[in-house]
Amino acid sequence: MSTPATASPPTDARAEEHEALRVWLRLLTCTNLVEAQLRTRLRTSFESTLPRFDLMAQLDRHPEGLKMSELSRLLMVTGGNVTGLTDKLAEEGLVERRDDPRDRRSFTVMLTPEGKRQFGAMAHEHEQWVVGLFAGLDHAEKRQMLKLLDRLKVHLSTISD
């Protein structure tokens, strides 16, 4: 009668791989939890969505306006998604399209004064929500987390496909 095979003890390399996977899953879980809170709060407080907020935030950062392709690239979504959001925001008077004098086939999108006002209110609340969501960490812990995430970001940016 043979004895059943037993699992070999994990090697240091295998334990490190497992640890990397756990870090990734924890980052993803935390991101999803924060995002869910922000989505809910934007919906209940402003009857808005996170994609709308993100589009308006990009336009707020670029008061001279952005082309649709630039918005799509910055938001990392398809042109169709940007078009749908922009159409809805334009209907509501929050963004306007201006013809590009250098390229008659394209236009620039920018916030209207009402769009700036509404985004300002949302951005102020959004910042307070994020501060509250991270209140479980003290200043030193947040600084340490930023330092570690900065290192990870630098490392990831050096990896080519």
> Does 58 reside within a domain?
yes
E strand map for 58-137? 66-67, 95-100, 103-111
Widest pairwise Cα distance in the chain: 85
* pTM for this model (two decimals): 0.81
* Domain extent for 148: 37-156
Return contacts of 28-37, CB within 8 angstroms, 24+ apart: 34/130, 34/133, 37/129, 37/133
> Does 6 reside within a domain?
no
The CATH number that applies at residue 123 is: 1.10.10.10
How many domains are there within the chain?
1
The token pair at 141 is 């812990």
Give residue 17's pLDDT: 82
Residues 94 and 118 sit within 8 Å (Cβ to Cβ)? yes
Question: Phi and psi dihedrals of 95, rounded to 5?
Answer: -135, 160
Beta-carbon count within 10 A of 52 CB: 20
Question: Phi and psi dihedrals of 7, rounded to 5?
Answer: -70, 135
Assess whether pLDDT exceeds 70 at residue 88.
yes
Summarised one tens digit per residue, pLDDT across range 115-157 is 999 999 999 999 999 999 999 999 999 999 999 999 999 999 9
What is the three-class DSSP state of 109?
strand
Report the mean per-residue pLDDT for the chain.
91
Residues 88 and 121 sit within 8 Å (Cβ to Cβ)? no
